[in-house]
Amino acid sequence: MSSTSQSPDPHLGAESNLEKSVQFLKGVGPARAELLAKLGIHSISDLLFHLPRSYDDLTNVRTMDQIEAGVLQTIRGEVVEIEGKELHDGRRVTQVVIADAQGKCVAGVWFNSTLIVGKVRYGQQVAFSGKPKWYRDHWTMNHPRVQALDDEEGKLEIVPVYPLTEGLRPEHLRATMRLALTRAADEVVETIPDPTRTKRAYPHVAQALWQAHFPAALAEDVNARRRFIYEEFLILQVALAVRRRSVRDRQQAPKLATTPQIDAHIRKLFPFLLTADQDRAIVSIVKDLASDRPMQRLLQADVGAGKTAVAIYAMLVAVANKHQAILMAPTEVLAQQHWQTMENYLAKSRVRRALLTGNASLIATQEHGASSVAKRHLLDVLKAGDIDLVVGTQALIQDEVEFAKLALVVIDEQHKFGVNQRARVKKLGVDPHYLVMTATPIPRTIALSVFGDLDTSIIRQLPPGRQKVLTRWQSESQRERVYERFREELRKGRQAFIVCPLVAESETLDLTSAVEHYKILRAGPFKDFRVGLLHGRLPDDEKQRVMQEFRERKLDLLVATVVIEVGVDVPNATLMIVEHADRFGLSQLHQLRGRVSRGPMAGECYLFAGVTTDEARERLRAISRTTDGFTLAEEDARLRGLGEFFGTRQHDLGDLRFGDLLHDFD
C-alpha cells in the first residue's frame, strides 16, 4: 500500500486531490514540504496515512483530590502564581501554580523556557495536562501542556502525537492534518467490500481516517486502526492468491500417481514406521503430485523431525512414475549428508542414484554400488534419463544440467526459508513439482501471510524415543565442572561438540580463537582424548575427512565453527558446548543443539556467554526454557523484528504500513 509507481495505492481515485503535493495545502510552503518529505510524505494521500504514533488523552480530567502520580491527566485550576528563578546549577526554572476553589494546587515547571510567562496571566482558568509527581510537599508537572479554558479554541480533547522530524512543530502538523482531512478524506477510495465492512463493523475509510487522527474517544482510534490493518492483510492475501493462481494456471506438471503397491513398496525401505505427522504430510504431497498443476509445498519441521524421509518418499513416487527427482541442498556438507541418508534407505533398491556437487559426481546402482564418474558422463546420463534420483548443491541448477523427465524438485533450505523457494531448474517440456523443506519453524502467522502462495505441511512430532536436549546457560565458574561431565561421558564412549562462533566481520579473529581453543583443549582438559578441529577455512576434502573421522568415532571431541550447524548426523554425539552463545541467534542455537539429539540418548547442551545486552540475556533464557522450535521461532521474531528474522529485506511482504504480522494476525 505504498504510493510508489510500481505498486499503485488502491486508495487513490482517478483524479483526486490525493495525489497532489502537500504544498497544495494552505500553510505548507516549500520549507515545510521538505520537512514532510523527510518523513516520506509527499502527496496529500501520504499525509493522510501518516497515522499518529500515540495520543495524549486530555479528556482524562482529575480533580486535585484525584491526582495520581505518573499517569497522563488533565487538572484544571486558576493561575495563582507565576515565578521565575535560577537554580544552583544555573538552569532557569519557571513555575506556574494553579489552584482549585479549596486552595489545593499543582505547580507546572518549565526548565530553560520562559515562553509560558507570556501565555498565562493571574486569575486565568487553565488546564495542565501532564504526568504529576510529588515533590517535597506538593504536586508538580514538568512541561505540562497548557490550555486556556476561557479561550474559545481551548478544548479538552485527545491530541494525536505524530512521528516527527527535526524542525516540524507538532501543532503545525496537526493543523495541516485537519486541513488535509477536510480537503481530501472523502476522496479516499474504499477498498473493503461493503458486506465485509458491515459485518466487521468497520467504519468507512474516510471516517476511519478522521477517527484515527482525531478520535473523540480512544476506543475509536483502535477500531479505525483495526480497519486499516485488516485492509492491509486483505490486500496482501488477495495478491498472494492471485499470484498463486496465475502460476498454477500457466503451468503443466506431470501427474504422478501413488498406488497402494507403490506406497507399500516405499514404506518397506524405511527401517521405521513413519510418524502420524509424517504420514499427514505425505497424504498432502501424494494428492498434490497426482494433479497436473505443479505442487508448491513448504514442508516445515524442526531439525531431525524426519523431513528428509518424507522428501525421499515423494521422490520415490516420481521414480515409480518413471520420472526423475532431485534434492538440492544449500551446502556441500549437507548434500553429502543427504546422499548418505539416501544411500542408507536405497542401497538395496533398483533406483539409480547420483550425487552432483561442485566437487563430486557419483553414480550409485544396485549392481555396482557407488563410484565416482566424470562429470561430463553424469550430465549425459541425466539428460538421457538413465538416472532416477539426484542429490546435489546449486550445481544442479546450472545451465549445463539437463534432465530427460524431471518431475520433482526438492529444495532443502535448512535454516533459511523463502529465499530459494522459487529457484528454477532448467526444464525440458513440463514444469516440475516443488517441495521446499525448512528446518526453521516459521510461526504460523508468518507462514500464512508470507507463504500464502505455498501450501504448508508441518511436522511437529519428533520420531519416537527422541529425547529433549537439556540446555543450561552456565557461568564461567562452572566450566571445569562441565568439562568433567564431558570427560565422564567421553570415557563411556559418547562424543561431543564444542562450537565456536564465526561471524563474517571478524572471521580471522574468530578463526584464531577457534584454533587457539582447540589447542588449549587438546593440551589441557581433554589431553587424554582424541580431539578434532573443523572450520570453514579448511579445504573441502579436509572437512569431509574430519567429519568422516568423527562419524566413525575416531574422534571423541570436535571443536568446530558453525559448519556443523548443517548436516551432521551423528547419533552417538550427545554433548555440546557453545562458546560465546550470546553471538548466536535463537534459531541458530536451536539448530545447533539439535545436533546432539540425533539418537536415543538424551543430549546435553551447555552455553557459555559473556552477556552484554538484555536481548542476548532473553535469548539465552528462552533457549534454556523451551525445546519447542515453534515457540522459539515466535520469540525470535519478536526479539529481533521480522526484517532480521527473515535475514533479508527482500521478502515478499513489501512494507506493511499498519499491520504487524506477529501482533495483529488474529
Q: How many CB atoms lie within 10 A of CB 421?
A: 18
Scanning the structure block, which residue is given the C-alpha cell 501518516?
50
Does 597 interact with ligand ADP (rule: CB under 6 A)? no
Q: Which stretch binds ligand ADP (CB under 6 A): 35-43, 81-89, 307-315, 654-662?
A: 307-315
Scanning the structure block, which residue is given the C-alpha cell 500417481?
257
Does 603 interact with ligand ADP (rule: CB under 6 A)? no
* Beta pairing partners, 76: 127
CB of 389 to Mg ion, least distance (A): 16
CB of 308 to Mg ion, least distance (A): 5
Contact pattern for ligand ADP over residues 449 through 478, marking x by CB under 6 A? --------------x---------------
CB of 302 to ligand ADP, least distance (A): 7
Residue 272 binding target from Mg ion, ligand ADP, none, CB below 5 to 8 Å by type = ligand ADP
Q: How many CB atoms lie within 10 A of CB 195?
A: 8
Q: How many CB atoms lie within 10 A of CB 425?
A: 19
Contact pattern for ligand ADP over residues 235 through 274, marking x by CB under 6 A? -------------------------------------xxx
Which of 64/274 has CB closer to ligand ADP?
Answer: 274
* Beta pairing partners, 370: 364
For 247, the grid coordinates are: 502460476
Give the residue from 478, 420, 516, 495 showing the smallest Cα distance to 606.
Answer: 478
Say how far apart CA 404 and CA 546 lie, in whole Å. Answer: 37
3-state SS string for 114-132: CHHHHCCCCCCEEEEEECE
For 251, the grid coordinates are: 503451468
CB 394 within 8 Å of CB 310: no
CB 319 within 8 Å of CB 401: no
| SS3 at position 496 | strand
Residue 393 binding target from Mg ion, ligand ADP, none, CB below 5 to 8 Å by type = none
Which of 64/301 has CB closer to ligand ADP?
Answer: 301
Does 308 interact with ligand ADP (rule: CB under 6 A)? yes
Query: Which amino acid is present at 647?
Result: G
Q: Which stretch binds ligand ADP (CB under 6 A): 50-58, 174-182, 287-295, 299-307?
A: 299-307
Residue 617: burial class (beta carbons within 10 Å; 0-12, 13-18, 19+): middle
CB of 38 to ligand ADP, least distance (A): 48
Helices (H), 191-269: 194-199, 205-213, 218-250, 260-269
Count of residues that bind ligand ADP according to CB under 6 A:
16
Which of 382/442 has CB closer to ligand ADP?
Answer: 442
Say how far apart CA 135 and CA 370 lie, in whole Å. Answer: 83
Residue 301 binding target from Mg ion, ligand ADP, none, CB below 5 to 8 Å by type = ligand ADP
Say how far apart CA 414 and CA 393 lie, in whole Å. Answer: 13
Q: Write down how long the chain is.
A: 666
Please list, in sequence order, all residues whose beta carbon lies within 8 angstroms of the beta carbon of residue 495, skipping any fewer than 6 positions away.
550, 553, 555, 556, 557, 558, 570, 572, 573, 574, 575
- Give the nearest residue (CB) to Mg ion: 308
Does 309 interact with ligand ADP (rule: CB under 6 A)? yes
Half-sphere exposure of 157 (CA within 13 A, CB side): 12
| SS3 at position 371 | strand
CB of 435 to ligand ADP, least distance (A): 12
Q: Is 39 left (phi over 0), alpha (psi -120 to 50) or beta?
A: alpha
| SS3 at position 471 | strand
CA-CA distances (angstroms) from residue 35 to 24, 155, 165, 179, 466?
A: 15, 28, 7, 17, 59
CB of 509 to ligand ADP, least distance (A): 32
For 310, the grid coordinates are: 518424507
CB of 283 to ligand ADP, least distance (A): 15
CB of 465 to ligand ADP, least distance (A): 7
Which of 294/304 has CB closer to ligand ADP?
Answer: 304
Residue 278 binding target from ligand ADP, Mg ion, none, CB below 5 to 8 Å by type = ligand ADP
List 305, 442, 562, 633, residue binding ligand ADP (CB under 6 A):
305
Which of 382/439 has CB closer to ligand ADP?
Answer: 439
CB 512 within 8 Å of CB 502: no
CB of 338 to ligand ADP, least distance (A): 8
For 591, the grid coordinates are: 539448530
Which of 71/273 has CB closer to ligand ADP?
Answer: 273
Which of 437/498 has CB closer to Mg ion?
Answer: 437
Helices (H), 492-640: 507-523, 540-551, 586-594, 614-625, 629-640
| SS3 at position 570 | coil
Within 285-324, which residues bind Mg ion (CB under 5 A)? Answer: 308
Does 306 interact with ligand ADP (rule: CB under 6 A)? yes
| Separation of CA 225 from chain center | 23
Residue 463 binding target from ligand ADP, Mg ion, none, CB below 5 to 8 Å by type = ligand ADP
CB of 489 to ligand ADP, least distance (A): 21
CB of 616 to Mg ion, least distance (A): 28
Residue 262 binding target from Mg ion, ligand ADP, none, CB below 5 to 8 Å by type = none
Which of 163/600 has CB closer to ligand ADP?
Answer: 600
CB of 511 to ligand ADP, least distance (A): 28
Buried b / exposed e over 107-144, threshold 16 CB at 10 Å, is bbbbeeeeebeeebeeebebbbbbebeeeeeebbbeeb
Which of 106/568 has CB closer to Mg ion?
Answer: 568
**How far from each other are the two terminal CA atoms of the chain, in whole angstroms?**
20
Residue 209 binding target from Mg ion, ligand ADP, none, CB below 5 to 8 Å by type = none
CB of 336 to ligand ADP, least distance (A): 13
Does 275 interact with ligand ADP (rule: CB under 6 A)? yes
Contact pattern for ligand ADP over residues 317 through 346, marking x by CB under 6 A? ------------------------x-----
Residue 309 binding target from ligand ADP, Mg ion, none, CB below 5 to 8 Å by type = ligand ADP
Which of 211/308 has CB closer to Mg ion?
Answer: 308
Binding footprint of Mg ion on the chain (CB under 5 A): 308
Binding footprint of ligand ADP on the chain (CB under 6 A): 272-275, 278, 301, 303-309, 341, 463, 569
